[in-house]
Structure 1
């Protein structure tokens, strides 16, 4: 089971509340399971064994594929996740026999209440939220990941990249990495050719370099 440190303390629980269009504020089954010290499977099975305590659409609901996409969620399994409202989340304290469920149930409800309060403050204009930056283009995201992988696999390239970023000359870099100037110049050309020191001109070429490093 994953470490629960990031979930401890009621001050964090409001950050786990989701706002899905057309649905009441809710918390994902996997997040609630970690808080209560059980597996996601056991949490949902406990709900299934106690149908009288949970009303679908009121206390819980299963997310659709479009809702998963809206929330930008990563699916840990092939199944669509369930989400629980404030009442549904608290109801587990009556059926889960874990110390975490007993100690955190009230904090979970307080997290929902804090979320509701924050939404009211934002609605009234008493709190302003920073606008999200424009979404990163997929090609830029792929390049950054491939760049990071290549640099992680080549300590020399990582050093050259850092020193070039500081504006050092080839001669200065050579002194710092204990290489000949010609060697540094050769590596700089290779890094430029695969887009590590300049904006990538050919993403497939960079992917080829990454594949080569994975195989070697």
Structure 2
């Protein structure tokens, strides 16, 4: 369960997709990022654009993904110590791309980790479905409350009218009578 929570913290929302980045996957599979990327490039036909894409600098910054040099060091030549080349931007793998990695990386660790990653994606999907269901329920409750407010206002108006009539009757009975008294 702890590993799934760790994996869930590495799932990002980028371009409207839930993705994992290559350096996170490499650390989970216990391989270097460059090795993972080489395996992907050797099997690039398995990774269409909806399975994997490369991030832009803007996406990397807007996602506020903190990348320390240890994670990225294997992705670019060390002569670029102060800046990364554009080609070294991380790759993002969608759920289908991560599933496809299981066919590319064949170690037992990769297979077991892939199963855990798939479970994490499923858990994230379940959480989002529950959240959507709760949002629908809240909207339904708000609509009902709106209807109840209207009905309560009608009740209050009816009660006010009844009270006004009773007060008028009491005033009529308690008035000082004039005229012939016996």
Question: What is the TM-score normalised by the length of structure 1?
Answer: 0.50
Count of aligned positions = 118
In 1, distance between residues paired with 2:35 and 2:109?
14
State the Cα deviation string for residues 103-130 of structure 1 (Å, max 9, x = none).
111111111111112122223337xxxx
State the Cα deviation string for residues 154-179 of structure 1 (Å, max 9, x = none).
xxxxxxxxxxxxxxxxxxxxxxxxxx
Matched, 1:115 2:139: no
In 1, distance between residues paired with 2:66 and 2:8?
20
In 1, distance between residues paired with 2:89 and 2:104?
23
8 Å CA contact 1:16, 1:27 repeated in 2: yes
Q: 1:35 to 1:53 in 2, by over 3 A?
A: same
8 Å CA contact 1:64, 1:80 repeated in 2: yes
Runs (5+) with no aligned partner, structure 1: 1-6, 127-216
The answer to which structure, 1 or 2, has the higher relative contact order (CA under 8 A, 6+ apart) is: 2
Q: Please give the secondary structure, in 2, of the residue aligned with 1:38.
A: coil
In 1, distance between residues paired with 2:97 and 2:24?
14
Q: 1:49 to 1:62 in 2, by over 3 A?
A: same
Runs of 4+ in 1 over 6 A off after TM superposition: none
Query: 1:10 corresponds to which residue?
Result: 4
State the Cα deviation string for residues 138-190 of structure 1 (Å, max 9, x = none).
xxxxxxxxxxxxxxxxxxxxxxxxxxxxxxxxxxxxxxxxxxxxxxxxxxxxx
8 Å CA contact 1:37, 1:98 repeated in 2: no
In the TM superposition, 1:31-110 aligns within 5 A as 31-56=24-49, 58-75=50-67, 76=69, 77=72, 78=84, 79-110=88-119
Q: 1:73 to 1:11 in 2, by over 3 A?
A: closer
Structure showing greater radius of gyration is 2
